[in-house]
A and B are shown apart, each in its own frame.
Chain A
Amino acid sequence: MTETNNNKEQASTHKIGIYLWIWGLLFVLSFFSYMVDWYQFQGILRWSLILFFMFLKAGLIMAFFMHLFWERYALVNVLLWPMTAIACFIFLMVAEFEYLLFSRLFYFVVGG
C-alpha cells in the first residue's frame, strides 16, 4: 500500500502483488462479514460490524481496483463531495421513517 509511484519511469502500472493483496483482503473481509451473520451477533454490535466491513471493502475496491488511491485529488474530490447530498438525504429519511412509524403506530394501532 506504500507504493506511491512518484517515480515517473514507473508511473503507469503497479506490481501485480498489490492487486493480489487487495483481492485476498476482500475475500477475508467478506468472510468476516459473513461470520457476523453466522454467529448471529445482534443489536449495535451487528450493525457497526456490518458497516465497518462494508466501508472497508468499498474503500479498498475504490482505492485500489478503481485506482482512486493513485488518482490526483482533483478527480477524487469531484467524486466524493456529491456524496454529502446523499448523506443529507439518508439523514433526513431516517428522521422521516421514524416519524412515519410513530404516526402509523399512534393512529392505526393505538387508535389516536
Chain B
Amino acid sequence: MSEEFNDNKTIQAQSSEVMTGGAAGATPDMDYVRPAEIPEQDLYHAHSFITKWVFCQDAKVIGVQYFLLATFTGIVGLILSWLMRLQLGFPGLAGFMTAEHYYQFVTMHGMIMVVYFLTALFLGGFGNYLIPLMVGARDMVFPYVNMISFWMFFIAVAVLMASFFVPGGPTGAGWTLYPPQTILEGTPGSGMGILLMLISLSLFVIGFTMGGLNYMITVLQARTRGMTLMRMPLTVWGIFTATVLAMLAFPALLVSAIMMTLDKVLGTSFFMPTILKAGEVLEYGGGSPILFQHLFWFFGHPEVYIVALPAFGIVSDLISVHARKNIFGYRMMVWAIVGIGALSFFVWAHHMYVSGMNPWFGFFFATTTLIIAVPTAMKVYNWILTLWRGNIRINTVMLWCLGFIVTFVNGGITGIFLGNVSVDVPLSDTYFVIAHFHMVMGIAPLMVIMGAVYHWFPLVAGRMLDETLGKWHFWITFLGAYSIYFPMHYLGFIGVPRRYFEMYDSPYMTSAVGMNEFISLAAFIVGAAQFILIFNIIKTLKTGKAAGQNPWKANSLEWYTSTVPPEHGNFGDRLPVVHRWPYDFSVPGAKDDFIPQTTPPSEVVHTEVEKT
C-alpha cells in the first residue's frame, strides 16, 4: 500500500485552533476538544454577479432564493383562497366563477400550500440558511448540487404556474389527485393540466432529493468540533428529521406520479378500474384506485410531519431564547421528534377510512394514530414547561410562538377526533376536516414561520423588523385565523360537505349562510394582513434600525459569525469550537443571562451550568 493512500484514510488533524485550552491558569484538560477529523471545506468563491446571486453555490443565498420563490407561490395560493372564499361566502358575486374554476382553485391552493410553499420554505428556505450556520459548517457539503436543487424547484414552480395558461386550465381533481376522476374527461384540467401537475411534482421531488441529501449529510458528516448531535439546536433536529422523512416519503409520490402519467398518456390501467361512461365501457380496466391512495398517503402522511417537524424545532428555539430559559427536557424533545418521524410511516391510511380499503386496517391505523399523539403531546407540555417561570419577553416573536402553541393544541385535539374510525366516518368530507388540517398544518406552522422571520431577519439583513407593525400583524392574523377556522368546526358538525362549490338552497344554508359570509370576510382581512409583513420588510430594509451582533442574546452559532450578515464561508478564518448545548440561559452565577455555545468550561467554572 502506498504512502498517499495512507494519507487518504488516516484523517489528519486540521485544527483551526491550538489543541490545549489556551486560557492561562485554567486546567489544560478542561477545555479540550478533540482535533478536527475532516479537512477544511474547499469552497468555490464566486466573482461574477451571475455566480454570486443567480446560480449561487452559497447555501445562505440559496436559502433566501428558496424563501422568496416559496413566498411567491404562497401568495398565489393565498389569492386562490380569496377567490374560493368569495364564492363560498357570496355565491355568484364573482361573475367568472364557475364550478370548474372553483375546483381548479381548490386543487391548486392545496398543492401549492402544502408542497410548494410550506415544504420548500421550511426545508429549502430555513434548512439551507440555518443548517450550515447552526452546526458550524462553512457551507453545505455539496454546494453545486444544492444550487441545482433550487433551480429544479424553480422549473417545477414554472411548470406548475404554466398549467394556469394551458387549454383546459390546471387540474381540478382536488390536491389528492385521486384517480380515476383525475384523468377522465369531465374533470377540469384532465388534459394538459394534470400532466403539468404530475411533471411539476416529479421535478420537485428530483430537485428536493438533491437538496435533502445536502441537508442530511451536512448534519451527519460536517459538524464543527465539539458539536455532537445532542448539542444541536432543536431547529436543526426538526429540519433534519423532516428531511429524512422527505427522502423516504417522496419516492412514493414520484412513483404514483409516474404511474398516473402512464395511465394518462399511454392508457395503462394501474389505477383505472373498468369504467362505464354514458353506457359505454372505456378502454381502461382492472386497475385499483385504492392503490393510488395508499401510495399517495404513504407520501402524504409523512408530508404532514415534513411541515410540522421543522416548525416544532424552530418554535422550541424561539421559546427558549425569548423566555430566557433552557428548553425543558431537551433530550425528550429530540426523541419525540425522532419518534414522531419514525411513527409517521405507519399511520398513513387514517386518511382513507372511508375509501373502501380492507376494513381491518381501521383498527391498525387508529391505534398507530393515537400512539403518535403521545410524543406530540410531550412536546406541547415541554413548551409550556419551558415558559413556566421563564423571563418571558412579550415581543412579536414570542407572540407568534404562543399563538402557535394554542393553535396547534386546538388542531391536535380535533385530530384525535378524526383519528378514530367511528368518529371520522360521519365527519369525513365535512368542514370539520378543513378546520382540523388548516389549524394543525396550515396556521400553526405559518405562525412559526412568521415568528422565525421576525427572529432571524436581523441576521439575514442586519436590521430589526418593526415591532409595532409586527404586533398588528400578529393580532390580526391570530384573531382572524380563529374567526375563519373556529366556525368551520361547527359547519362540519352540522354536516356541511367540503369541496362543494355552492350550497344552493340545501337545508344547511339556513344556519350556515351567515357563518360563511363571516368566514369569508375574516379570510379577506387575514390575507390582507400578511402584506403588513411585506411592507414591514421593505420599510426595515430602508430605514430599520441596525441589529448589530446577536440582538436577541441567543447562544446558537448562527449569531456568532465573523460578520453580520454572515458572508460566504460563514465563520471567517476559524471555525467555532462548541463546548455546550445552545440553551444555557439565565444560569445562576453567570455574568450574562446567556452563555454562548462557544464559551469554554474554564470561563464559567463558578456557575451552576448543566453538563451537556
Contacts and interface: CB of A to CB of B under 8 A. Distances in A.
B357 interface: yes
Where chain B touches its partner, the secondary structure class is: helix
Given A85-B345, A96-B357, 4 more contacts: A12-B5, A85-B248, A92-B361, A95-B360
B297 to A, nearest CB: 11
B248 A96 contact: no
B277 interface: no
Interface in B344-398: 345-346, 349, 357-361, 364
Nearest to B358: A99
Interface in A51-104: 82, 85, 88-89, 92-93, 95-96, 98-100
Contact of B358 (A10, A85, A89, A95): A95
A105 B222 CA distance: 56
A85 B1 contact: no
B586 interface: no
Given A93-B294, A96-B290, A82 B360 contact: no
A85 B343 CA distance: 9
17 contacts: A12-B1, A12-B8, A12-B9, A85-B248, A85-B345, A89-B298, A92-B349, A92-B361, A92-B364, A93-B294, A95-B358, A96-B294, A96-B357, A96-B358, A96-B361, A100-B290, A100-B358
B357 to A, nearest CB: 6
B288 interface: yes
Q: Which of B248, B298, B346, B358 has the most CB of A within 10 A?
A: B358
A20 interface: no
Interface residues of B, number: 19
Kindly state the interface size class of chain A when it binds its partner.
10 to 19
A13 interface: yes
Contacts of A95: 358, 360-361
Return the 8 tightest CB-CB contacts between A and B, nearest first: A85-B345, A99-B358, A12-B9, A96-B358, A95-B358, A82-B248, A88-B346, A100-B288
B1 A13 contact: yes
A9 B346 CA distance: 46
A102 B358 CA distance: 10
A92 B360 CA distance: 10
A75 to B, nearest CB: 10
Interface of A: 9-13, 82, 85, 88-89, 92-93, 95-96, 98-100
Interface of B: 1, 5-6, 8-9, 248, 288, 290, 294, 298, 345-346, 349, 357-361, 364
A85 B346 contact: yes
A51 B44 CA distance: 48
A98 B359 CA distance: 12
A85 B213 CA distance: 20
Contacts of B349: 92
A82 B246 CA distance: 12
Nearest to A8: B10
Nearest to A78: B220
A97 B270 CA distance: 13
A88 to B, nearest CB: 6
Contacts of B360: 95
B9 A11 contact: yes
B371 to A, nearest CB: 14
A10 B6 CA distance: 10
A100 B5 CA distance: 58
Nearest to B346: A88
B345 A88 contact: yes
A18 B572 CA distance: 47
A42 B360 CA distance: 31
